[in-house]
Amino acid sequence: MLSNLTKLSIIKSLNSEFLFREVQIDTLCNLLIEDDVLPPCVFVHGLPSVGKTSLISRLLFYIRDSTKTSIVNSVCCYTNRVLFESILKDLLQIKQSDLPHRCDNFMQFINVLKQFSIQKERVIIVLDKCEMLAQELIVVFSKLQEFIKSHQLCVIFVSQVLPTKFDEDINFIPIILEQYNSVEISEILLIDKPNDWSIEVYKNFLTVFIGSFIGNCRDLIELKHLAKILFVKYVEPIQDGSCAELNQNFLFRKISPTIQLLLNNVYLGTSLESVDSLSDEKIKFEKFALDLPYYAKYFLIAAYIASFNSPKYDRKLFVKASNKRKKTKLPKKSDNSISELVGPKNFSLDRLLAIFYAIIEENTNMTANLLAQINTLADLGLLMRFGDGKLDTPKYKCSVSYDCIINIARTVKFNIDKYLIDQ
Amino acid sequence: MGTDFGICIQNIKKKIILNDQLYGFDTERSELLQIVKKTIDYGESDSVIVLGPRGCGKSVLIESVIKELLPDSHTLVMLNGLIHTDDNLALKSIIQQLQIKNLDGAYVEGSYADNICFLLESFRAGNKMASKSIIMVLDKFDMFCSHTNQTLLYNLFDAVQSQQNPLSIIGVSSRIDVIELLEKRVKSRFSHNILMIKPPSEPHELLGRLKCLLQLSKDCKIESDVRKNWNNNINLLISDPQLQDLMNDLLKLSNNNTKLNMLVFMALSNLSKDKMLMVENLICSFNSLYKQDLTLVNLLGLSVLELCLMISICHHSEIYNKEPFNFEMIYARYCKFASRNSSLLVTKRQVIIKAFERISIMELIQPVTAIENKNILKEYRLYKSSVNLDKMKAASNLYYRLPPVILQWIDSNII
């Protein structure tokens, strides 16, 4: 009954590490621990950051004595050879140089496995992020047990993509890790409580925090990160003594601007240092716009106009000989016009130059320096260059958003709205 | 009760995984056996294709036929279209399996031309009476048909036709049109022996299979009273009307034997050692294996923002008749809703882009073109949705504490 005890203790410690996963841990342990017979194929599925990989690798860590395991992240395996050889290295515990043979295809992989008589051992292969693998490889791996003729080999697929997206021929045992709900998330975040604060303070903080963030983000890793940043801000008034520890209303009023700020930067990799600089984002952005040279800005504006207006309006817009009728006929730009929904269109260099000269007020000579600006813009990623192989007829597309171009236009006191037409 | 059924459970699990017990198919078996016997005993080459849907027991049938033969009477060559993805690999594997004793390493060197020459030479060198016969099993036969020029198939069938070394080829496939895949010259050399295998279609057949799976035979090394106890319990279990309903449900889902095996395996794994197998165990594992709606689970795991985007996407697909969409379109639709209904839902564009990206990572929506065009900005990349509005409605009704505005929105007349 010794093995039964270890199984129970493994289940117990896994449950203490991974909260709210009792059912899944039970099933996994029943399938993978202590028994001589392993299922051919298990599919672990769940949304991002619900603990799929960490749960599996922890479980395998506990049974590492009785089982040979290999955990491979499929993203790293850009060729089959990398995939096969890294699995072999793990399973056979040898170095790359000791591999008897190159292992480019599945046949060689199976041959090597058979040669080392892997059938006699318990083996678990984990393919993390298996959606990156080719469809055929997944089918083949799901039948590995049949090919090797071993009843002690199991392949575990881990993926955030639904198993139904793969070939239906795979017969797997699905293990579904559900997303945590808000109560569970607050329980889990409570584990990370900083040591020098009482549990009441942190609990109060979490109520505020989860209430405001759960709508935008249920990703545990991101929430953990945001909580860490926000808590520092949250306790500032308590630290400098301006507030009692449990004056929730006051603390909430203090923190709400920061919450608003962070809410607008979920998933954007905000760090504690950058929180303060985020608040004057507008200034920062204008700085960026200012950084471009004067002519480059006009080029960008011209490119934007060329991308979002149809060429047939060019004549009406830019020909200086005024004809009163035409202006009234032009439709006005409205928010979210159709042209903006399908994205920018290509334009030729000639059209760009023509519009550039039409909108710039001063006389400038066309010099190499001026043309170099266009290339600079393309290199900066503000314009996209389309080559059809010919050097003299390049096509461009503007890749800047409306908000950005408005900012740039404002810095050179140019009214771009006047030139944008809703088709 | 105190009796330990652990050994019973383990034995059955092993039986399921090894999957070497044939149930039914007596006529097909004797037919196949006859063909193979003819090759072995009289040196008459032949070819046959075993056809049948996935998981109906084709491989088990062939294995049981081969097991019947004396091991010294023939050389067995097993190929699988999944592993031997081109003629070169298949050829190397054939040579390797044919002369495994002469070869010291398990690897075959040499070029394709050398190898095929060698193989054909050896086929020609053999004769009807003196040579040992070869039985060649080509699993996933349809995949061999896609190899260039079907060179291997042509040569193999040609060897059969010209009665050189006794050779019988057994193709296994689940594609009903597999004969049509063959090139004309290959087809004319094939004997057109086709063995059709029919999967179980009646619940009582499935029950019979189940009984055969679960019962322990005498040659297991188990105390006889434990075994008797277990078998009695299985008999009781089989006659349970609930189980018959379950088999009916399973049959509606699929007649794949592997599904049944999986079900029993799961139920046995979740069984503790001192308990008997009950109907409840089977029903429970049936539910967890085949009844879960995973799309719904995924949708319920989304945040409110992501759910709103999914609703926008579904509305868009509904209005424009499943036309593809890009981020800007969805964003416009979302903003229209958010600004009209609730100030709480208005979020910065950058966060919404991230939410949109997350949805596409989960593959709830998929890019229209497989190859990503780097010249298209990500806001304008076209996607199509794999979730429909009905599913969204089901999800939003189950969603925990969804704001009522959103519920109204999803049901609203969208145009």
CA B354 vs CA B327, B332, B350: distances in Å? 11, 15, 6
User: β-strand B365-367 against B167-173: which pairing, if any?
Assistant: unpaired
Measured between beta carbons, the chain A residues lying within 8 angstroms of B269 are: 27, 30-31, 35, 39
CA gap B167, B74 in Å, rounded: 9
Structure confidence at residue B1 as a pLDDT band (50, 70, 90): very low
Range of the domain at B220: 5-12+201-291
Residue from A1, A52, A105, A107 to probe the interface with B (highest B Cβ count within 10 Å): A107
Tokens representing B411?
């049901």
Q: Could you tell me which residue, A340 or A353, shows the higher pLDDT?
A: A353
- Gap between the Cα atoms of B364 and B290, Å rounded: 20
In A, minimum Cα distance to B295 occurs at A162
Calculate mean pLDDT across residues B287-308: 87
Which are the contacts of A70, defined by CB distance < 8 A and separation ≥ 6?
A: A86, A87, A90, A91, A123, A124, A125, A126
- Dihedral angle of Cα A185, A188, A190, A195, to the nearest 10 degrees: -140
Q: Which residues of B touch A143 (CB under 8 A)?
A: 82
Is residue B148 assigned to a domain? yes
Are residue B32 and residue B175 in the same domain, yes or no? yes
Do residues B168 and B273 both lie within one domain? no
Closest partner residue to A341 (CB to CB) among B107, B332, B363 is B332
Residues of chain A in contact with residue B259, where contact means CB-CB under 8 angstroms, are: 171
Average of per-residue pLDDT values in chain B: 84
Q: How far is B19 from chain A (nearest CA, A)?
A: 9
Same domain, B208 and B351: no
Of B196, B223, B249, which residue is a domain's last? Answer: B196
Contact flag B14-A336 (C-beta cutoff 8 Å): no
Are A336 and B335 a contacting pair at CB < 8 A?
yes
Q: Indicate whether B21 belongs to any domain.
A: no
B304 touches chain A (CB under 8 A): yes
Interface test with A, best of B67, B107, B399 (most A CBs within 10 A): B107
CB contact under 8 A, B332 and A336: yes
Tens of pLDDT, residue by residue over A2-33, are 456 688 899 999 999 998 999 999 989 888 88
pLDDT (0 to 100) of residue B231: 86
Quick check: is B18 in a domain?
no
Residue B305: closest CA among chain A residues belongs to which residue?
Answer: A216
Lowest-confidence region among A250-264, A285-299, B7-21, B62-76? A285-299
Q: Is B273 at the interface with chain A, CB within 8 A? A: yes
Task: Provide the total of helices (H) and of strands (E) in chain B, helices listed first.
Answer: 20, 7
Same domain for B341 and B274: no
* CATH (domain of B388): 1.10.10
Residue A389: count other Cβ atoms within 10 Å of its Cβ.
5
- Sheet strands side by side (includes B167-173): B74-80, B133-139, B167-173, B46-51, B194-196
Contacts 24+ apart (CB under 8 A), B316-321: B317/B384, B317/B385, B317/B388, B317/B389, B318/B389, B318/B414, B319/B414, B319/B415
User: Cα(B4)–Cα(A29) distance, rounded to whole angstroms?
Assistant: 19
Clarify whether residues B126 and B231 are in a common domain. no
Residue B19 domain-assigned? no
Residues B374 and B268 in one domain: no
Structure pTM? Answer: 0.87
Residues B159 and B46 in one domain: yes
Q: Which two tokens stand for residue A61?
A: 């860590």
State the average pLDDT over residues B369-392: 78
Last residue of a domain, one of B243, B272, B291: B291
Residue pair B309/B355 in contact (Cβ under 8 Å)? The answer is yes
Disruptive mutation site among B297, B319, B376, B391 for chain A (greatest number of A CBs within 10 Å): B297
Position B126 in a domain: yes
Provide the domain count of chain B. 3
Residue B262 in contact with partner chain A when CB distance is under 8 A: yes
Say yes or no: B175 and B213 in one domain. Answer: no
Name which of B407, B324, B156, B83 is nearest A146 in CA terms.
B83
Q: Is there a single domain that holds both residue B318 and residue B363?
A: yes
Q: Residue B171: which pLDDT band, with cuts at 50, 70 and 90? A: very high
pLDDT classification of B310: cutoffs 50, 70, 90: very high
- Same domain as B354, residue B325: yes
Burial of B193 (0-12, 13-18, 19+ CB in 10 A): middle
From B354's Cα to the closest Cα of chain A, the distance in A is 7
d(CA B153, CA B218): 44
B281 shares its domain with B361: no
Q: Mark which of B196, B228, B259 sits at the end of a domain.
A: B196
B87 in any annotated domain: yes
Least confident of A289-303, B155-169, B302-316: A289-303
CA A382 – CA A376 distance, rounded (Å):
9
Choose from B303, B339, B374, B402 for mutation: most chain A CBs within 10 A.
B303
> Would you say residue B344 lies in a domain?
yes
| Chain B residues within 8 A of A35 when measuring between CB atoms | 10, 13, 269
* pLDDT for position A44: 93
The verdict on B115 and B223 lying in the same domain is: no
Contact call for B298 and A344, based on CB within 8 A: no
Taking one residue from A and the other from B, the number of pairs with CB-CB distance under 8 angstroms is 166
Residue whose token pair is 């504006």: A301
B76 contact A CB<8A: no
